[in-house]
Amino acid sequence: MKPDPIASDFLEALTKVSRKIRTAFNQQVTAHGLTYPRARALFRLAKKQNMTQSELACDLELEQATMVRLLDRMEENGLIERRPDTNDRRVKLIVLTPYGEEQAAMVRSIADRIREQIFQDIDPDELHVAVALLERISANVTDLEDVDVPA
């Protein structure tokens, strides 16, 4: 029952490349006065505004409590605004300020440039195959969680 070494190798490679990409991205955006989590949030908001904090947290796979403080700082930095929802007084809708839009565009251009360089010599077909594999593994991980915390 020894562990299959290729599975370990895969996990190691996955963890490593994921961490490296995040670090590279972070270096680029910090050079422009942002952080990786804020850049992620900006990117998401550039596609869809007027989301609630919960929706945004769910999209970015963060806890609500984490979202609150991230938005606190983004609000202090003048990137976003919290607007009340007239239908539900508990809700706050998040919108980008003009400065936030500007920064979101900057983030997008950085992301485009990094993607171009990272994947320059990679066959798109290989990426398709890899995405399918990653999604199958992702589903297996989800099942794993269900076993431990059944509804």
Contacting residues toward DNA, per CB under 7 A: 23, 35-38, 52-55, 61-66, 68-73, 82, 88-93
Q: Work out whether 134 is an interface residue with a second copy (CB under 8 A).
A: yes
- The verdict on 13 binding a second copy (CB under 8 A) reads yes
d(CA 41, CA 51) in angstroms, rounded, equals: 11
At residue 116, what is the residue type?
Answer: E
Angle between helices 98-118 and 5-30 (to 10 degrees): 140
CA angle 128, 134, 137 (to 5 degrees): 145
The residue (of 9 and 85) whose beta carbon lies closer to a second copy is 9
Tell me which of a second copy, DNA, none is bound by residue 105, counting a contact when its beta carbon lies within the kind-specific cut-off of 5 to 8 angstroms.
none
Using only C-alpha atoms, what is the Rg of the chain? 19
Footprint on this chain of a second copy (rule: CB under 8 A): 1, 3-4, 6-11, 13-22, 24, 27-28, 61, 111-112, 114-122, 124, 126-131, 133-138, 140-145, 148
